[in-house]
Structures are given as structure tokens and as C-alpha cells.
């Protein structure tokens, strides 16, 4: 399996999956400008198509012919785009808490983020040093965790030690790169691809996901022939670390029934 993160992430959401399925998880690349990966020489090359081609390059470098692609949040779009561009490399898809298209149109139930993004992008490019300084100081703090707990994540299900790595990783990303990638994700669509997907597919949604409302995942599962759907009651956008053993058991079962059998 190859793991595709959400935007701004470098692996925090896979903590339990790695522990529960160590024999399955093989590859986890970081996106351009994320984690241990340097920023791209061309700052405009951070589209979903670029990231999908990077997945294929990682498979080439690892000498892996085919893999199950597991995507979380924006990683769902990367997984779908990889299937579009490199279908022969995809043995299966596991799509967690994400949408097939235009995620900013339904972020927290409205298109407000999409509408504000051009203005935010303009100000970030005017004063990038100030913005980066603020995010590096403010994001990796307990205050940011408390804000996240009020806005999205389930405080009763998420340990601070599980979520703080996300805030720490986000704080290190250049704001200009983040905004450019967010804009690219907001404009991307793989909706027309869904009815043509033949790879075994599992869709996982959180019933109270405010970032990607559950109806987006339900619609995606309904549009993909033979797709399976797991909807987790009470789970938010961070379902893989809120209900890790349910998510991981379902992925293991899916792999055994749908992917391993197909390979045989």
C-alpha cells in the first residue's frame, strides 16, 4: 500500500494504520514542500496531476509494479488522479474522508473558503515572511489544538499527542505553497472518472465530518461500480485516528477479500 496524505500533512493520520497493518504499509512519500520533501523548483507545479505523477515515480523508484493507494482528505483526489493517469499501477483504492471534486465548495457546508481564497492568496504573497513567521509560532501550540477540537476533531477520541504532529508539520510549510496547493485541489475534479473505475474500492466517511461532509463520500461510493462504504458514526475528518481499529480492521478485511483475491 502507498499512503497519500491530506494537504499540509506528513503522516500523522497513519499512525495507527502503520501499527495495525505493518506488513501491508510499504510506501509513504511526502508531497512537494511537505515533511522531508524539498519545495519544488517550479512553485506552480503543485497540482493534483503533479502529485499523482509523483506517486507513479515513487512506485518506479521502489520497483513496485502495482499498489493499493490509500488517500486521506486531499489524498483522495491524488489517489483518483493517479488512477486516471496510471490505472495499470493501481491494484485498489481506499478513499478516506475526502471528495472526488471541488472540496472547497462544501467545506463546513458552504463555499465561503473558496470565495475567500483569492483574497487570502493575494495577502499571503504580499507578506509571506510575516505569514510564515506567525504560522510557525502559533500552529504548533496547545491553543491551536483547542481551536481544532472546537471546530472539527473529536476531543474525546483524539489524544493531543496524535494530533500535534499535524500542527507541527503544518507550521513548517511555506504558506505560498500551501495556498497554491489548496487552490489546485479546489479546482480539481475526478467526478467523470468514477463510473469507469474497475479497481476494488473502499470509501470511508465520518458521519460528522465538517471538512468533507459525509454525503460527498456516499455519492462517491455510489458512483464507483462495486465500491464498498464504511460510514463511522460520530467520526470527524480525522476518523483514522478517532476510530483507528475499526478503520484498520475494515481496510485489512477489504484487502483480503477484494485485492488479494483479485491478484490470485
pLDDT bucket at 261, cuts 50 / 70 / 90? confident
What's the pLDDT tens digit per position in 156-210? 999 899 999 999 999 999 999 999 999 999 999 999 999 999 999 999 999 999 9
**3-class DSSP state for residue 127?**
coil
Residue 264 pLDDT > 90: no
What's the pLDDT tens digit per position in 40-63? 999 899 999 999 999 999 999 999
| CB contact at 8 A, 44 and 32 | no
CA distances from 130 to 13, 35, 133, 145 (A): 29, 21, 5, 22
| Burial class for 157, CB neighbours closer than 10 Å (0-12, 13-18, 19+) | middle
State the average pLDDT for the chain.
95
According to the model, what pLDDT value does residue 262 have?
74
pLDDT-above-90 percentage for the chain: 94
Paired strand residues for 92? 68
| CATH code of the region 2-263 | 3.40.50.1820
Rounded-to-integer distance, Cα 64 and Cα 28, Å: 13
Rounded-to-integer distance, Cα 18 and Cα 244, Å: 10
Residue 225 pLDDT > 70: yes
The values of phi and psi at residue 12, to 5°, are -60, -35
Paired strand residues for 34? none
According to the model, what pLDDT value does residue 30 have?
97
Kindly state the average pLDDT of the residues 222-231: 98
* Integer-rounded Cα radius of gyration of the chain: 17
| CB contact at 8 A, 30 and 181 | no
Amino acid at each position: 500500500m502507498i499512503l497519500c496524505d491530506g494537504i499540509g500533512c506528513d503522516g500523522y493520520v497513519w499512525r495507527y494504520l502503520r501499527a495495525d497493518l505493518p506488513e501491508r504499509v510499504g510506501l509513504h512519500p511526502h508531497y512537494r514542500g511537505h515533511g522531508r520533501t524539498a519545495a519544488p523548483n517550479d512553485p506552480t507545479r503543485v497540482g493534483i496531476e503533479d502529485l499523482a505523477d509523483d506517486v507513479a515515480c515513487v512506485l518506479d523508484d521502489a520497483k513496485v509494479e502495482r499498489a493499493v493507494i490509500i488517500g486521506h482528505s486531499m489524498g483522495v483526489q491524488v489517489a483518483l488522479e493517479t488512477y486516471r493517469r496510471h490505472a495499470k499501477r493501481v491494484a485498489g483504492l481506499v478513499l478516506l474522508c475526502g471528495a472526488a471534486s471541488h472540496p472547497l465548495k462544501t467545506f463546513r457546508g458552504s463555499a465561503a473558503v473558496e470565495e475567500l481564497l483569492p483574497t487570502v492568496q493575494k495577502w499571503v504573497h504580499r507578506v509571506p515572511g510575516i505569514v510564515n513567521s506567525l504560522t510557525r509560532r502559533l500552529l504548533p501550540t496547545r491553543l491551536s489544538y483547542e481551536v481544532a477540537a472546537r471546530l472539527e476533531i473529536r476531543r474525546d477520541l483524539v489524544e493531543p499527542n496524535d494530533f500535534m504532529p499535524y500542527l507541527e508539520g503544518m507550521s513548517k510549510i511555506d504558506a505560498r505553497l500551501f495556498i497554491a496547493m489548496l487552490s489546485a485541489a479546489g479546482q480539481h475534479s475526478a467526478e467523470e472518472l468514477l463510473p469507469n473505475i474497475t479497481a476494488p474500492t473502499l470509501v470511508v466517511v465520518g458521519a460528522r465530518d465538517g471538512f468533507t461532509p459525509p454525503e460527498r463520500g456516499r455519492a462517491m461510493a455510489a458512483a464507483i461500480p462495486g465500491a464498498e462504504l464504511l460510514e463511522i458514526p460520530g467520526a470527524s475528518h480525522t476518523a483514522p485516528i478517532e476510530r483507528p481499529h475499526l478503520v484498520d480492521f475494515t481496510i485489512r478485511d477489504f484487502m483480503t477479500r477484494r485485492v488479494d483475491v483479485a491478484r490470485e
